[in-house]
């Protein structure tokens, strides 16, 4: 197992300065003991790369004003640290990234430590951690960087030994001479005392997948000892001497705005240290969280309540308006085919839902005269830095944000409110302030998964093959609220809303998908998988309806609509694997039935078979058998864990989760009125891993896709009842 994250000791390290070198690499200056720090940026616009190359010629004195996206440091104890701004929120990325790096470094896995960087280290990562993209986006650059580092060390080792670099072999963090394997030099020794580092001219050759020794192994997670002993620091756990606790006044409705605020008797509340009232913002700082909340209650707040909305209003708005959507998929001629044939039509709904990450959002912010230091549970440390800088009118460079471990993300922590709140309070009172939301604030004052409505229509030919199919979907916003307004005009349709909403069955000649925007009076946004769950529920339930309507087996029906393309063949393989493992088509025990569904997300294909029964007039899921192909697999056990977790997450939505409003307020305040799935309702889950190709695709979200449809389809097979709304409820 790799070392525990020594972030705390590292936090004292100075901001490193960098010299730009060849191929966009950056060499760190002033490394203690003459070691080596090697960083790089990717995705630089061509113009800036040009500047970087120009600087190399001129040799910008004292380091240029650039900073890497991530970097390695070779430490004196022959470990290597990898600094990067990818957040560990449970998905195991630090482990998988360590595998990628260790592979090309020829370093024992346990000698590689991943260190989550803070914005203070100059790292830029505007994207944040999300969208199941971490491993796929870093797969090649990280290995190239690691290989480059190894070659640089190899060159210096060769110099020290006065031999040709080609005569050396790298293994287990050391070099040895081919001619004399007895004599070794560690990486740290090779780096010792060197200051004239040079980047190799050409890109290094990377290992082929057959040569992998670390990638593809089921590595143990690197963060568990820390987490299971209570030492790991999450945003809610962040502490600093002299810190106080803050709480912020919340509107009684999502439509309300603060007209006027005064201190009332808040200062008289025991433990209250200060009251902060600015424009539309009122908060209390106290010696304990309890006192801060009691202080809030003693404020005098005058709210303009705004309009009154009920759940029925939201439902009425969430409707497909036929023909009004933006086309997001169009193959062949759907309209003509649907007109000329008798078609089958069905509608599906999904409700709003909460993220319910178990650690509510939290931040510790210390506003000082020279800089601002923040520790935040966030998926987007750079965004948080920018937001704090803007709110406090400080320079971005003076704001340091460290993303702590996160107690779940699920899209909610791509945009957090709490950091700016703590920053405002800290700024006002001149002391470090911690704010951790309570559960009621989480349920009522954030953005939620949008409600959706899908209308599907298809025509079959006389052999039961789909001639044409159309999906019209209406959804509240997912990505749009977070993008600059002009982008919504360019995109036309919200890519978050239609994620998973297109037909991946390439054997259907005529298919069309239209996505329309539902403007709601409340905030909706990112949620694990975005539209994937709702859209797959609609499409895969509908596929099942078509199969049954024409008397075809649900598996065969799907297979016959697949093409010979690589993607469709991968889909075929997972469908067949899941079906075979679940013994699809065989007779099950009395009172049990199977349902099947599949999805594609970030090119990862996944199929699931659900086995259900009815107990005490409720659906009980006994087993989910799933086959998943995420391309190349970096950490098989990590992929398994993500698959199991996503299925349970999806089952929670399938059976329990429904967020409603009343009088312009979200109804639930805690889990008593918004229960989550527990171990009692969790079925057996069998995961079959299928691997393909030479690059990894996404894993954090894709297996969430099929589960609701697989269960609903099984319920139909068992009872003849077609359930077209989530959460599933038998009538």
Q: Is position 670 an interface residue for ligand FES (rule: CB under 6 A)?
A: no
When the beta carbons of 309 and 443 are compared against ligand FES, the nearer one is: 443
Nearest-approach distance from CB 359 to ligand FES, in angstroms: 8
Nearest-approach distance from CB 649 to other proteins, in angstroms: 5
Binding mask 425-464 for other proteins (x = CB under 8 A): -----------x-xx-------------------------
Give the Cα-Cα-Cα angle 641, 408, 80 (nearest 5 degrees): 70
Give the Cα-Cα-Cα angle 225, 226, 228 (nearest 5 degrees): 65
Q: Is position 615 an interface residue for other proteins (rule: CB under 8 A)?
A: no
Which of 358, 487, 549, 583 touches ligand FES (CB under 6 A)?
A: 358
Q: How many CB atoms lie within 10 A of CB 598?
A: 29
C-alpha 484: how far from its chain's center? 21
Residues near other proteins (CB under 8 A), total: 59
How far, in Å, CA of 628 to CA of 701, rounded?
12
What does 232 interact with, of ligand FES, other proteins, none (CB < 5 to 8 A by kind)? other proteins
Which of 28, 116, 351, 408 touches other proteins (CB under 8 A)?
A: 408
Burial class, 371, CB count within 10 angstroms (exposed 0-12 / middle 13-18 / buried 19+): middle
Q: Is position 6 an interface residue for other proteins (rule: CB under 8 A)?
A: no
C-alpha 114: how far from its chain's center? 18
| DSSP-derived 3-state class of residue 651 | helix
C-alpha 678: how far from its chain's center? 23
Of residues 697-716, which lie at the interface with ligand FES (CB under 6 A)? Answer: none
How far, in Å, CA of 670 to CA of 673, rounded?
6
Q: Is position 409 an interface residue for ligand FES (rule: CB under 6 A)?
A: no
When the beta carbons of 240 and 358 are compared against ligand FES, the nearer one is: 358
Nearest-approach distance from CB 675 to ligand FES, in angstroms: 13
Q: b or e along 114-152 (b: 16 or more beta carbons within 10 Å of the residue's beta carbon)?
A: bbbbbbbbbbebebbbbbbbbbbbbbebbbbbbbbbbbb
Q: Is position 527 an interface residue for other proteins (rule: CB under 8 A)?
A: no
Q: Is position 637 an interface residue for other proteins (rule: CB under 8 A)?
A: yes
Enter the DSSP assignment of 482: G
What does 662 interact with, of ligand FES, other proteins, none (CB < 5 to 8 A by kind)? none
How far, in Å, CA of 374 to CA of 391, rounded?
14
What does 508 interact with, of ligand FES, other proteins, none (CB < 5 to 8 A by kind)? none
What does 91 interact with, of other proteins, ligand FES, none (CB < 5 to 8 A by kind)? other proteins
What does 372 interact with, of other proteins, ligand FES, none (CB < 5 to 8 A by kind)? none
How far, in Å, CA of 722 to CA of 715, rounded?
7
Binding mask 85-124 for ligand FES (x = CB under 6 A): -----x----------------------------------
Which of 35, 63, 92, 122 touches other proteins (CB under 8 A)?
A: 92
Structural Rg of the chain based on CA atoms: 28
Binding mask 672-691 for other proteins (x = CB under 8 A): x---xxxxx-x-xx------
Q: Are 338 and 468 in contact (CB under 8 A)?
A: yes
Candidates 133, 656, 130; CA nearest to 354 is 656
- In sequence order, which residues have a C-beta less than 8 Å from that of residue 162 and are 6 or more positions away? none
Q: Which residues bind other proteins (CB under 8 A)?
A: 89-92, 220-221, 223-225, 227-234, 236-237, 239, 245, 288-290, 356-360, 405-410, 436, 438-439, 637, 641-642, 644-649, 652, 670-672, 676-680, 682, 684-685
Q: Which residues bind ligand FES (CB under 6 A)?
A: 90, 358, 408
């Amino acid at each position: 197992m790799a070392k525990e994250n020594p972030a705390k000791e590292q936090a004292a390290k100075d901001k490193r300065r960098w010299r730009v070198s060849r191929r966009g690499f950056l060499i760190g200056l002033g490394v203690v003991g003459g070691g080596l720090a090697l960083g790089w940026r990717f995705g630089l616009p061509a113009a800036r790369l040009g500047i970087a190359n120009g600087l190399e010629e001129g040799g910008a004195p004292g380091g240029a004003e650039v900073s890497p996206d991530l970097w390695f440091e070779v430490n004196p104890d022959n470990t290597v640290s990898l600094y990067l701004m990818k957040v560990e929120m449970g998905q195991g990325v630090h482990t998988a990234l360590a595998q990628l790096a260790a592979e090309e470094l020829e370093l024992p896995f346990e000698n590689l430590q991943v260190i989550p960087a803070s914005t203070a280290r100059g790292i830029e990562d505007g994207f944040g951690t999300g969208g199941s993209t971490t491993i796929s986006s870093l797969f090649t650059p990280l290995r190239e960087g690691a290989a480059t580092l190894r070659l640089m060390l190899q060159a210096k080792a060769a110099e020290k030994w006065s031999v040709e670099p080609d005569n050396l072999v790298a293994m287990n963090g050391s070099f040895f001479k081919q001619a004399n394997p007895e004599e070794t030099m560690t990486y740290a020794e090779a780096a010792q005392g060197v200051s004239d580092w040079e980047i190799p001219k050409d890109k290094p050759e990377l290992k082929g997948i057959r040569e992998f020794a670390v990638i593809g192994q089921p590595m143990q997670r690197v963060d568990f000892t820390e987490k299971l002993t209570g030492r790991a620091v999450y945003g809610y756990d962040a502490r600093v001497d002299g810190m106080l606790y803050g709480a912020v006044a919340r509107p009684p409705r999502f439509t309300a705005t603060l007209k006027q605020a005064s201190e009332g008797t808040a200062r008289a509340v025991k433990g209250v240290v200060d009251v902060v009232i600015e424009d539309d913002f009122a908060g209390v700082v106290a010696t304990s969280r309890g006192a801060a909340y009691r202080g809030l209650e003693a404020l005098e707040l005058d709210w303009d309540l705004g309009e009154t909305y009920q759940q029925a209003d939201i439902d009425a708005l969430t409707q497909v308006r036929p023909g009004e959507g933006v086309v997001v998929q169009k193959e062949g001629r759907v309209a003509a085919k649907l007109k000329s044939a008798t078609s089958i039509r069905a509608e599906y709904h999904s409700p709003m839902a909460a993220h319910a990450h178990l650690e509510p959002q939290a931040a510790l912010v210390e506003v000082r005269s020279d800089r601002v230091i923040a520790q935040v549970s966030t998926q987007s440390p750079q965004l948080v830095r920018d937001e704090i800088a803007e709110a406090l009118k400080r320079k971005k460079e003076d704001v340091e944000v460290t993303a702590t471990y996160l107690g779940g993300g699920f899209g909610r922590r791509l945009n957090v409110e709490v950091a700016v709140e703590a920053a405002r309070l800290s700024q006002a009172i001149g002391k470090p302030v911690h704010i951790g939301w309570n559960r009621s604030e989480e349920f009522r004052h954030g953005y939620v998964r949008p409600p959706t409505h899908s209308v599907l229509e298809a025509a079959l030919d006389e052999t039961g093959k789909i001639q044409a199919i159309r999906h019209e979907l209406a959804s509240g916003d997912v990505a749009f609220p977070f993008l600059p307004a002009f982008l919504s005009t360019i995109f036309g349709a919200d890519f978050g809303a239609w994620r998973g909403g297109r037909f991946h069955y390439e054997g259907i000649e005529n298919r069309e998908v239209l996505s329309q925007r539902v403007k709601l009076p409340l905030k909706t946004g990112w949620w694990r998988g975005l539209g994937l769950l709702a859209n797959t529920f609609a499409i895969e339930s509908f596929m099942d309806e078509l199969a049954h309507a024409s008397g075809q087996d649900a598996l065969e029906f799907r297979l016959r609509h697949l093409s010979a393309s690589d993607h469709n063949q991968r889909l075929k393989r997972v469908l067949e694997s899941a079906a075979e493992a679940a013994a699809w088509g065989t007779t099950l025990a009395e009172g049990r039935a199977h349902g099947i569904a599949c999805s594609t997300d970030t090119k990862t294909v996944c199929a699931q078979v659900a086995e259900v029964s009815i107990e005490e007039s409720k659906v009980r899921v006994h087993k989910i058998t799933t086959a998943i192909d995420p391309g190349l697999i970096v950490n098989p056990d990590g992929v398994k864990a993500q698959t199991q977790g996503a299925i349970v997450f999806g089952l929670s939505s399938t059976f329990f989760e429904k967020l409603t409003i009343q009088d312009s307020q979200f109804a639930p305040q805690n889990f008593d009125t918004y229960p989550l799935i527990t171990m009692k309702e969790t079925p057996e889950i069998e995961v079959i891993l299928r691997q393909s190709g030479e690059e990894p695709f996404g894993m954090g979200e894709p297996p969430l896709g099929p589960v609701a449809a697989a269960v609903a389809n099984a319920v139909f097979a068992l009872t003849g009842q077609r359930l077209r709304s989530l959460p599933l409820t038998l009538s």
